[in-house]
């Protein structure tokens, strides 16, 4: 009766990244919706134009493995001329075994969502409200393994669980609809709470997690960690000590382990690169042949590690004990007056919340200009109009592959001005 809707899908996906025993993943999903506004008690309502309640559940698979396309295979790598083995006076090429996991399989995410779609006053007001919960199991991770347990110190395997939950809300309004004027305004907001719930095959309270977030500077420095009970990409740094004027003291950190010295045990999980909430907004205003439209988006609660300031904002980039030389130094050196780099200081983890106006367009439509055969429209658009943020780095919105929340030599976004002429024949 067009009031109750049922959708069911079943996917059977295969990937050559897994062995024949684990190659195929079966992923079902189902959704149920109830169009409440078509019921007798709302069918004739002048205030409610649409009202739909929906519930859904489904599973999806993920097989994104980047460094080794066949991690289940016991592969052998041929040596080169620099790693040959000598027997007597003859040098021989060798084959070395690589690490592998014969039981590696699909990563699975199960999602449950409950939502309501609504419309009032002949859809002058429309929107939706939805809650979701995602549980990811058998995470595909490239992790270190104990010496002697495999043929490599790192392998791809299924290890760990993670969950995401949040609320999404959107609203579209048409405050003005007349013969000459038309105004459309809308916004959306989404919150997400991310937490890693499992990372190892056996629970170990002393295991710090998987170190990620490689940075420029030093040897093998990382500033993020994946840990049980914390969000993904949490920053893993030392707690900076400040003087009476609020200035950071070079090389002085809080002894969180209370053992009288600063070691890796004093690093702590501080903030995350993931935002607490994201927002979007758009509006279109029309007056006769004129149209003004704009859109923007915002992120709140996301933090960024300013790798450029940590690496280049110190005086030793300008001079060395053996004599001065011309080097690259950022003006952030005046904020800290550090002589040497302090890569793992939480001072460089900055609040990167922002609002960006993505574009602004003004256009005029001349209508039919050549005997009702040609329409002419002129427009002027500015892309990347402005950004409002307290972050002093290059860009508060940086997500480059695995380096989420690390500002390191990103090319600045350009501001573009576009003059458009549209002819419709």
The domain spans of the chain are 4-65+103-424
Residue range 226-280, pLDDT digits in tens: 898 999 999 999 999 999 999 999 999 999 999 999 999 999 999 999 999 999 9
This prediction has a pTM of 0.83
> Does 138 have pLDDT greater than 90?
yes
* pLDDT-derived band at 43, boundaries 50, 70, 90: confident
pLDDT of residue 167: 97
State the pairing for strand pair 140-144/154-158.
antiparallel
In angstroms, the CA 79 to CA 315 distance is: 44
* pLDDT-derived band at 346, boundaries 50, 70, 90: very high
In angstroms, the CA 268 to CA 241 distance is: 14
State the pairing for strand pair 125-137/107-120.
antiparallel
pLDDT of residue 400: 60
Flag the least confident range among 121-125, 177-181, 378-382, 395-399: 395-399
Residue range 45-100, pLDDT digits in tens: 989 999 999 999 999 999 988 776 789 999 999 999 888 999 999 999 999 898 99
Closest CA to 354 of 395, 400, 401: 395
pLDDT of residue 2: 84
Q: Which helix (H) or strand (E) holds 336?
A: helix 333-336
In angstroms, the CA 173 to CA 119 distance is: 10
pLDDT of residue 193: 95
In degrees and rounded to multiples of 5, residue 115 shows phi and psi of -145, 165
Mean pLDDT of 329-356: 94
β-bridge partners, 56: 31, 113
pLDDT of residue 370: 75
Higher pLDDT among residues 83 and 416, named by residue: 416
pLDDT of residue 278: 96
Residue range 29-40, pLDDT digits in tens: 999 999 999 998
Going by C-beta distance under 8 Å and a sequence separation of 6 or more, which residues neighbour residue 291?
A: 284, 285, 361, 362, 363, 364, 365
Q: Are 199 and 136 in contact (CB under 8 A)?
A: no
Report the chain's mean pLDDT, rounded to a whole number. Answer: 91
Neighbours of 223 (CB within 10 A): 27
The SS3 call for residue 338 is: coil
Cα atoms in the 13 Å half-sphere on the side-chain side of 355: 9
Place of tokens 């992923």: 27
* pLDDT-derived band at 201, boundaries 50, 70, 90: low
Mean pLDDT of 108-128: 96
Closest CA to 190 of 177, 175, 162, 171: 171
Name the percent of the chain lying above pLDDT 70. Answer: 96
> Does 312 have pLDDT greater than 80?
yes
pLDDT of residue 132: 97
Largest Cα separation within the chain, whole Å, is: 97
Name the percent of the chain lying above pLDDT 90. Answer: 72
* pLDDT-derived band at 324, boundaries 50, 70, 90: low
């Amino acid at each position: 009766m067009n009031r109750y809707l049922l959708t069911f899908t079943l996917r059977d996906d295969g990937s050559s990244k897994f062995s024949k025993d684990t190659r195929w993943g079966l992923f079902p999903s189902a959704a149920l919706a109830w169009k409440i506004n078509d019921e007798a008690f709302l069918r004739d309502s002048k205030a409610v134009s649409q009202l739909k309640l929906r519930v859904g559940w489904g599973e999806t698979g993920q097989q994104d493995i980047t460094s080794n396309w066949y991690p289940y295979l016991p592969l052998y790598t041929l040596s080169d001329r620099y790693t040959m083995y000598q027997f007597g006076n003859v040098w021989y090429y060798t084959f070395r075994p690589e690490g592998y996991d014969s039981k590696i399989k699909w990563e699975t995410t199960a999602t449950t969502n409950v939502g309501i779609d609504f419309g009032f006053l002949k859809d002058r007001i429309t929107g939706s409200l939805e809650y979701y919960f995602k549980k990811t199991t058998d995470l595909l991770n490239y992790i270190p393994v104990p010496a002697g347990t495999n043929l490599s110190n790192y392998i791809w395997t299924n290890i760990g669980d993670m969950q995401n939950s949040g609320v999404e809300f959107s609203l579209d309004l048409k405050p003005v609809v007349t013969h000459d004027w038309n105004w459309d305004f809308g916004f959306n907001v989404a919150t997400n709470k991310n937490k890693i719930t499992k990372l190892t095959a056996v629970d170990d309270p002393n295991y710090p997690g998987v170190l990620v977030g490689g940075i420029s500077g030093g040897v093998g420095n990382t500033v993020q960690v994946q840990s049980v009970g914390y969000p993904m990409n949490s920053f893993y740094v030392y707690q900076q000590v400040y003087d009476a004027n609020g200035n950071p003291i070079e090389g002085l950190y809080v002894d969180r382990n209370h053992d009288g010295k600063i070691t890796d045990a004093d690093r702590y999980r501080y903030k995350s690169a993931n935002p607490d909430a994201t927002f979007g907004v758009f509006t279109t205003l029309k007056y006769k042949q004129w149209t003004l439209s704009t859109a923007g988006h915002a992120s709140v609660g996301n933090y960024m590690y300013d790798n450029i300031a940590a690496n280049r904002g110190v005086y030793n980039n300008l001079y060395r004990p053996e004599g001065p030389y011309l080097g690259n130094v950022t003006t952030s050196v005046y904020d800290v007056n550090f002589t040497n780099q302090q890569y793992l200081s939480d001072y460089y983890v900055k609040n990167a919340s922002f609002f960006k106006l993505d574009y602004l367009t003004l256009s005029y439509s001349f209508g039919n200009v050549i005997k009702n055969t040609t329409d002419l429209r002129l427009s002027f658009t500015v892309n990347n109009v402005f950004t409002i943020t307290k972050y002093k780095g290059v860009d508060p919105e940086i997500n480059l592959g695995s380096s989420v929340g690390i500002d390191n030599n990103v090319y600045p976004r350009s501001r573009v001005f576009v003059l458009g002429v549209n002819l419709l024949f």
